[in-house]
Structure 1
Amino acid sequence: MAVINDLIDRISDPELRRRINDEVVRLQQQKKFGLVFEEHLPEATPLYDVPINVKSLVARKDGYFKEFFRVKRIEGNVLFCEREDDSHEQVELQKNEAVAVALFGEPIYPYLKPMDAVKNAPDSDLWHTLIEADNYHALQLLVYLYGGMVDCIYIDPPYNTGAKDWKYNNDYVESTDSYRHSKWLSMIKKRLLLAKQLLNPNDSVLIVTIDEKEYLRLGCLLEELFPEADIQMITSVIMPSGSSRTGRFGRADEYIFFCFIGESKVTPWKTDMLRDAPESNVPVRWNGLIRNGEGSRRSRIPSLFYPILLDKNTGKLVSIEDPIPPTMMVEEYLVPEGLVAMWPIDKAGNELMWRLYPPTLREYFRLGYAKLGKRDKKSGYRPISYLQSGMIDKIKAGQIRIIGKDKEGALELEYVEGGKSYAPLTVWNRVSHSAAEHGSGILKKILLKRHFPFPKSVYAVEDSLRFVVANKPNALIVDFFAGSGTTLQAVNLLNAEDGGHRRCIMVTNNEVSEAEAKSLRKQGYQPGDEEWEKYGIARYVNWPRTVCSIEGHDINGHLLKGNYLGIDIPMQDGFKANAKFFKLGFLDKNSVAAYRQFRELLSLLWMKAGAIGECPTLKGKEIPEYLILTENKMAILTEEWAYAKFMDEMKDRQDIKTVFLVVDSEIGFREMAAPLKWAKTYQLYKDYLENFTINYEK
């Protein structure tokens, strides 16, 4: 910095010198330590549903939205534009070759356009959702809908390898771009900042998969964005045969970051993840009674220092005595004739403590939860072990079977089949996680010749989720890099296994593959054309997979063959689940404020109310003065003058959990919402407009 300051001092123009100095100071204050990268801007999303007007920001449909133009005037089908850069070049574009765009960080007013639905559980109110959208704007919407409410986010973001099979998955920037790592970080940071607002700050987990291209930078970024989280990185073998690297080690694994937030924790499972099946004849673990290690000295808890008396000749337990006074020496304790006193003293002579208080230990011996070990011939001591509370709980739950008692009354135990559970290790090596067999293989079984590169094994995703939501049967799970739709299939599989009611929200864009894009352009099609869009990820891969896996058939309607691994669930049975497919669209702010967009916003209100029951639709052109939607557990007052009639019908309607009130005045809203104490209430359209007027670039 001394050199820069010296150069600044040489600037003769005082105003220029001051401005440059101020800018350097600002840059110095931004980041001094940690991960430093360029905050590349802008990214943009096409607004195919938004008409192009004077002052609209547009881009060419056939590009990757790197060049932007401001419309100055329109004559027929010709747009007279000015390039949005320092050149201000005047450019003419044909209307049909341009699309309105929104730069990331600009206010947007989203809605959800229904595209399709699959219903295989008519008696269930559980509805998953797929949103076709650029995930940045979809995340803005999800923050409005579920801020601080999400239990788990699982994402498999672009690995930045430069592959061009599907640009969305890998090729965010060109492989030759000298800023490729910086641009990737800028892209992922924007989305993680929004993801953080989604997660429950008291108990939630963010899961991010990555490979060797960006794992170091991603790790640093996660540390920076989630300083409050406990972060672990898992090594997961996904290609046992290995992927060759010329002149380097073949690669068989990738990495999974787990960011544990608040009280979240890992749930043990039947394997430690280093093997495919639990070990046979695993002995039930008894814990040693003597405590050792830091903080185990007698002086810390004197009441855990007491003698245990054994018969000197037979070695049998005689009694468990009360603690001796803290000032009393062991040598001062009078041992009755014919007995041996055992103390919690290690081989070095350090006075430690037992792990259980005398009354508890006496009860454990009575119940068979504590036992004596082999007798030391020299000292007469016998080590004591006991069952920790977790093991006792497993006995009560039937996971551990009592097969008898030894001659001194201690329980003899064994695990029932599948009863043993392990704390999973940080290296996962399971055949079921192979991406070739259980990622591409399962996708091919469903979609036949439709191609999607490198889908995750459905079992690898299921295991990742199980460890953090096994004890949350109603968890809300989000995947905003959903790709081929593995996460939803994994959630359905997990629900089928344990009877859960977990809900999954997927977000993916509708990019077509590189090869398909070339072919479509030769035929004269452009992004936004129906013939183009039907080959995109969301419509050509994710949604067909979602429908087929739920209904149990392939895309030609033939029943799927085989069972899901490890469980007796035939694939042809599908899943008792429902799913709704939406496309993210954008509304005009003034039209929303004028109450002219209720029909478009109804799906969004359904989502905000918890996506309970089938998404409602309006029949006819008229908007009802109010709606009480029992199946959806929500109600909407659309006309303020109908409030009295609305409240007459809302009396004792404790089944309605969410209420939307269309009212201009905030004071009026508070007065109208006051009687609805049992429900969550929202003011329309103020709540919606204020949320999306905020610039999310923060």
Structure 2
Amino acid sequence: MALLQDLIQQIDDPALKERILQETDKLLKQKKFGLVFEEHLPECTPLYDVPIRVGSKVALKTGYVSDIYTVVKMDGDEVLCDRRETHEQKTFKLDDLVVVAEFGEPIYPTLKPLDTVENAPDSGLWHTLIEADNYHALQLLEYLYAEKVDCIYIDPPYNTGAKDWKYNNDYVDSSDAYRHSKWLSMMEKRLKLAKKLLNPQDSVLLVTIDEKEYLHLGCLLEEMFPDARIQMISTLTNSRGVARDNGFARVDEYIFVIQFGSSKVNRLPLSDEWRVNVNENDTRVTHLRWSMLIRSGSNYLRKDSVNQFYPIFVFNDGKKIHSVGEPYYGTNREEVVAPEGTFAVWPLRRDGEEGNWQIANTNLRELIKQGFVMLGKKKDNSIPVYYLKKGEIAKVTSGVYEITGYREDGSIISDTEVRSLVTGTQWRIGSHDASTGGTNLLKSFFGTSRFTFPKSIYAVHDTIRFFLANKPNALVVDFFAGSGTTLHAVNLLNAVDDGNRRCILVTNNEVSVDEAKELTQKGLKPGDPQWDSLGIARHVTWPRTVASMTGRDIEGKPLEGYYGFESDCYEVDESIAVVSKTTGKPTKATVYRKGKRQMYPELCEIKMADGFKANAAFFKLSFLDKTSVALGRQFRELLPVLWMKGGAVGKCPALENDDLPNMLILPQNKMGVLVDEIYYSEFDAELSQHPEIQTVFIVTDSETAYRSMIRTYDGKNCYQLYRDYLDNFRINTGR
């Protein structure tokens, strides 16, 4: 094809050249060049909570999910089925069957609440874990967050042949001649949807893999993302090595970095381990970083955090803080009287709009006492206020930044210079070892190991912070969630810089091979409560999320230790005199003493028992009847989807009774729903009282009426129900 393209460029006739180029482009799209693999049978998904009816497509719970039957007749718990391949009719017990969804058919998913963990009731930050086949979950996420995701981090099955993943509900082992093409088919379908989630202007896709599939994956990524910038990193994961038959032990794996738009790698202050093969001239000096006290980004208005709208009283010369006032809930802040000789500083934005401070007044008072609050230059009877976030404070208390003095306002001075850099593509970082930061960490939560080969939390933390350090409000997705390391790492990032990054995890609820055998011997089947309780989502991912956020293990005991990570180092010990054996006199020599070095000083004061100031909701992907949705009969079931569509702000709302309300005004969720369009006037009046509501859903079959009702809602995200929902999944047909 390359030669053909060169020959086409030699054609003198511009019109003919353009026409031939168009036809060759069509040819390229029809036939794969480069990476060629079999297009396998479409994937099927068992839907255990969907009721079986006459006409349903079903499979045996203990059989192949792709071996599909059609229900012909039902008589009590006896079900007569017609096998699709042979049209042989058989009778099965109802409890032995499960409804099956095939790839590409229209689906109408929703979210069934399973559990929540709320460790920050005053925070609007809610993460989500979705138990589901990730293909259908990605279809739902496309409806919710198309082109809105900042970072996707995935650790897909490595296709080792050791029964580490299934295709059509059947394990793919090393003897399968088509295991590579099955794996590529599986990945291609999901990456197509992932591409639609990512913000094309500025986002990153991070994919980990080992030597079994890295060549195939690299070709697939090049083919699917031709406009992206792609690199591959080699990273240490097991310093002891994983044995390979008659070969070298594997100590590392790979990370593909796919960057879109203006995405860039941030320079970070890193330990010496990161400096291998890095040009010292490519490093930059950084100093202690002070942050603006007034909030920016999302949730920056006064109404978003009313308790953090308070005055700071500064002496008239602008050189020192006198005191910090109490939250003000009134409408005329001029009525607040400043102490004599002072003036009040409020969190006002440049346009005069009322905002809010980053932290509560009680926390600010403590930081002032410690010298961690600094005043800027006074101008027009106002003055900017700065403070140190948790990560910077930890660097001060751990000695990374030495205090060399104090300003007139009482804030600390540090002249320490720390070099920041962009590292190379060879990562040999001790904390990335999967045993230390992965297996041992999970054992502290569960008492035993419930998951094989978990990622080190530091490996995920470091990888994503290169891209999210300057994005405190980033949306992160991991649809191969495994043990839940990604959400844990996002919380750790937020704890360092007071960020508001939100994470969505997706994982299935498969049990291990050995557990499946034991449960089957006991007469249990997938979908039974005892079986499901041992699946990865419910037995590992969610308990790990709860434990890390509450700071308690599964037995309720406080977790021990801190998130700071120490590694061995060797420092010159000048206190040891070295005497020459030949002359008996002191001689010049360098003596090293083994010690410990803090690799993450910003994490050294983050106590595991304190958990994280965030919340999370646990859902199971379920499916709705199309006719019921169209008639508006399943509003209760759709409410969690609407909540996520609105940004998952605040706790997911739920209807208290079976009566369908005329409208829902949910300022805590920044969303409103008009259920009955007859009540539009009342709904509109309520919205005018809650300007914080940014997402509006209107249930109406009339496009004209919908357009009329939203005409004054400029700046708000508006959606027509249920047409918007149904149209999306009708489009999904045949993918």
Normalising by the smaller structure, the TM-score range is: 0.7 to 0.9
The amino acid that maps onto 1:77 is D
1:675 positional shift: 1.5
> Distance between the aligned counterparts of 1:539 and 1:284, measured in 2?
45
- Give 3-state SS (helix, strand or coil) of 2:555's partner: coil
Structure 1 residue corresponding to 2:711, chosen from 656, 662, 674 = 674
CA shift digits 1:572-630 (9 cap, x unpaired): 11111100000000000000111100000001100000000011111111111001101
Normalised to the residue count of structure 2, the TM-score between the two structures is: 0.72
1:50 positional shift: 1.5
The amino acid that maps onto 2:70 is R
> Distance between the aligned counterparts of 1:262 and 1:187, measured in 2?
26
**Aligned residue in 2 for 1:394:** none
The amino acid that maps onto 2:508 is N
Normalised to the residue count of structure 1, the TM-score between the two structures is: 0.75
The amino acid that maps onto 1:513 is S
In structure 2, do the counterparts of structure 1 residues 556 and 64 end up closer, same or farther at CA, with 3 Å as the change threshold?
A: farther
In structure 2, do the counterparts of structure 1 residues 170 and 104 end up closer, same or farther at CA, with 3 Å as the change threshold?
A: closer
- Give 3-state SS (helix, strand or coil) of 1:176's partner: coil
Tell me, which stretches of 5 or more residues in structure 1 are unaligned?
A: 1-25, 287-397, 404-414
Larger radius of gyration: 1
1:648 positional shift: 1.6
- The answer to whether the 8 Å contact 1:155/1:479 transfers is yes
The amino acid that maps onto 1:600 is E
In structure 2, do the counterparts of structure 1 residues 246 and 277 end up closer, same or farther at CA, with 3 Å as the change threshold?
A: closer
**Aligned residue in 2 for 1:384:** none
CA shift digits 1:311-345 (9 cap, x unpaired): xxxxxxxxxxxxxxxxxxxxxxxxxxxxxxxxxxx
> Distance between the aligned counterparts of 1:551 and 1:226, measured in 2?
39
- Asked if residue 549 in structure 1 is aligned to residue 586 in structure 2, the reply is no
- Equivalent runs, 1:397-416 vs 2, <5 Å: none
**Aligned residue in 1 for 2:51:** 51
- The answer to whether the 8 Å contact 2:481/2:505 transfers is yes
1:424 positional shift: 1.5
The amino acid that maps onto 2:241 is G
- Give 3-state SS (helix, strand or coil) of 1:157's partner: coil
> Distance between the aligned counterparts of 1:634 and 1:285, measured in 2?
44
**Aligned residue in 2 for 1:646:** 683
Runs of 4+ aligned residues of structure 1 deviating over 4 Å after TM superposition are 26-29, 165-172, 276-279, 281-286, 398-403, 415-418
In structure 2, do the counterparts of structure 1 residues 418 and 189 end up closer, same or farther at CA, with 3 Å as the change threshold?
A: farther
1:488 positional shift: 0.6
> Distance between the aligned counterparts of 2:27 and 2:88, measured in 1?
31
- Give 3-state SS (helix, strand or coil) of 1:547's partner: helix
**Aligned residue in 2 for 1:591:** 628
- Give 3-state SS (helix, strand or coil) of 2:268's partner: coil
1:205 positional shift: 0.3
- The answer to whether the 8 Å contact 2:139/2:732 transfers is no
**Aligned residue in 1 for 2:723:** 686
1:88 positional shift: 2.8
The amino acid that maps onto 1:647 is D
> Distance between the aligned counterparts of 1:276 and 1:417, measured in 2?
19
CA shift digits 1:178-211 (9 cap, x unpaired): 0000000000110000000100010000000000
In structure 2, do the counterparts of structure 1 residues 146 and 32 end up closer, same or farther at CA, with 3 Å as the change threshold?
A: closer
- The answer to whether the 8 Å contact 2:164/2:171 transfers is no
In structure 2, do the counterparts of structure 1 residues 479 and 64 end up closer, same or farther at CA, with 3 Å as the change threshold?
A: farther
- Equivalent runs, 1:14-29 vs 2, <5 Å: none
- The answer to whether the 8 Å contact 2:144/2:644 transfers is yes
- Asked if residue 250 in structure 1 is aligned to residue 287 in structure 2, the reply is no
- Asked if residue 625 in structure 1 is aligned to residue 662 in structure 2, the reply is yes
- Asked if residue 39 in structure 1 is aligned to residue 35 in structure 2, the reply is no
Percentage identity across aligned positions?
58
- Asked if residue 123 in structure 1 is aligned to residue 160 in structure 2, the reply is no
Question: Over aligned residue pairs, what C-alpha RMSD do you find?
Answer: 2.8
In structure 2, do the counterparts of structure 1 residues 672 and 172 end up closer, same or farther at CA, with 3 Å as the change threshold?
A: farther
- The answer to whether the 8 Å contact 2:116/2:618 transfers is yes
In structure 2, do the counterparts of structure 1 residues 196 and 165 end up closer, same or farther at CA, with 3 Å as the change threshold?
A: closer
**Aligned residue in 1 for 2:30:** 30
1:400 positional shift: 10
**Aligned residue in 2 for 1:63:** 63
1:416 positional shift: 5.6
- The answer to whether the 8 Å contact 1:159/1:169 transfers is no
- Give 3-state SS (helix, strand or coil) of 1:438's partner: helix
Q: After alignment, is 625-634 or 29-38 more displaced?
A: 29-38
In structure 2, do the counterparts of structure 1 residues 226 and 283 end up closer, same or farther at CA, with 3 Å as the change threshold?
A: closer
- Equivalent runs, 1:129-208 vs 2, <5 Å: 129-164=128-163, 173-208=172-207
- The answer to whether the 8 Å contact 2:698/2:706 transfers is yes
The amino acid that maps onto 1:55 is G
1:80 positional shift: 2.0
**Aligned residue in 1 for 2:269:** 270
The amino acid that maps onto 1:670 is R
1:245 positional shift: 1.1
1:282 positional shift: 10
The amino acid that maps onto 1:34 is G
1:30 positional shift: 2.6
**Aligned residue in 2 for 1:493:** 492
- Give 3-state SS (helix, strand or coil) of 1:258's partner: strand
CA shift digits 1:481-515 (9 cap, x unpaired): 00110001000001111111100000000001111
- The answer to whether the 8 Å contact 2:42/2:102 transfers is yes
Q: After alignment, is 264-273 or 440-449 more displaced?
A: 264-273
- Give 3-state SS (helix, strand or coil) of 1:687's partner: helix
Structure 1 residue corresponding to 2:609, chosen from 572, 588, 591 = 572
In structure 2, do the counterparts of structure 1 residues 401 and 570 end up closer, same or farther at CA, with 3 Å as the change threshold?
A: closer
CA shift digits 1:100-137 (9 cap, x unpaired): 01001111101101100000111110000000000000
Paired residue total: 551
- Equivalent runs, 1:272-287 vs 2, <5 Å: 274-275=273-274
